[in-house]
Amino acid sequence: MSDFSTLKLRTDLLGNLDSLGYRSMTPIQAASLPIVLSGQDLIAQAKTGSGKTAAFGLGVLHKLDVSRFRIQALVLCPTRELADQVAQELRKLARAIHNIKILSLCGGTPIGPQIGSLEHGAHIIVGTPGRVADHLRKRTLSLADVETLVLDEADRMLDMGFQEVLDDIIAEMPAQRQTLLFSATYPDEIQAIAGRVMRDPERVEVDTSQ
Ligand code: ADP
Ligand code: MG
């Protein structure tokens, strides 16, 4: 049994972690997951390759109700490459949940097929801010049922000038939600956006030397 079993995670998720060979939590997972599962907002800082996707992904998947075919979580990433990596890892973590739909919405790819996919519905969206905002403007995406917002690599998203787009996207979401922010660094801009969009966040910092 892995030490993930010390968490009160769904048993299908635990079984899948076992079959993926995830024997023990990485430090950022051990520090974050109890907070994520408690429903609190979280600002987590850790370097690349430390396992941040599972640190938020297991929380998102644990609370997901697959029988409600609504977008329950939105994960925003700075680039298409990073969004694709996150979607791939989430699909791996979600393998035991039947009929779960995780949809990528990134720029640099035609919008028409994405609109078609959105008409069919999804449980989780992973995307880049520009393209998600495009869908909101076109009214091809509703975030009215989102329960969890994840800002992944938030420092890079702010470096790339996405601050206003993020504010526009967040304005379309219920205020009653869990917000999880992951970042390699903690500049003033992160504190500022956290102050605007999070509620009383916990902070964890693990091994941030790059
Ligand atoms: P980060 O987002 O911090 O850069 P990722 O979430 O992409 O890191 O994870 C990096 C790699 O580590 C991935 O290939 C993932 O499958 C693997 N991984 C994550 N957590 C664990 C774990 N607890 N045990 C084994 N491998 C893990
Ligand atoms: Mg990552």
Please, are residues 147 and 72 in contact by the beta-carbon 8 Å criterion?
A: yes
Is 4 within the bounds of a domain?
no
pLDDT at 1: 45
Can you tell me which atom of ligand 1 is nearest the CA of 28?
3
Domain assignment present for residue 142? The answer is yes
Q: Which domain holds residue 90?
A: 27-206
| CA proximity to 93, closest of 154, 21, 147, 165 | 21
Q: Distance between CA atoms of 118 and 111, rounded to whole angstroms?
A: 11
Closest residue CA from atom 20 of ligand 1: 51
- pLDDT, tens only, 172-205: 999 999 999 999 999 999 999 999 999 999 999 9
CA of 116 to the centre of ligand 1 (A): 31
The pTM for the full model equals: 0.97
Q: Out of 29, 53, 155, 181, give the residue to mutate to test ligand 1, the one with the largest number of ligand atoms within 8 Å of its CB.
A: 53
User: How many percent of the chain have pLDDT more than 70?
Assistant: 98
Any domain includes 21: no
Q: Is residue 107 part of a domain?
A: yes
Number of domains in the chain: 1
In a domain, 12, yes or no: no
CA distances from 84 to 81, 87, 88, 91, 103 (A): 5, 5, 6, 11, 10
Q: Look at residues 95, 45, 42, 97 and name the one whose alpha carbon lies nearest to residue 67.
A: 97
CATH of the domain at 148: 3.40.50.300
> How confident is the model over 138-176, as pLDDT tens digits?
999 999 999 999 999 999 999 999 999 999 999 999 999
Q: How far is residue 161's CA from residue 58's CA, in Å, rounded to a whole number?
A: 29
Whether the ipTM is more than 0.85: the answer is: yes
For residue 183 and ligand 1, the question of a CB distance below 6 A is answered with no
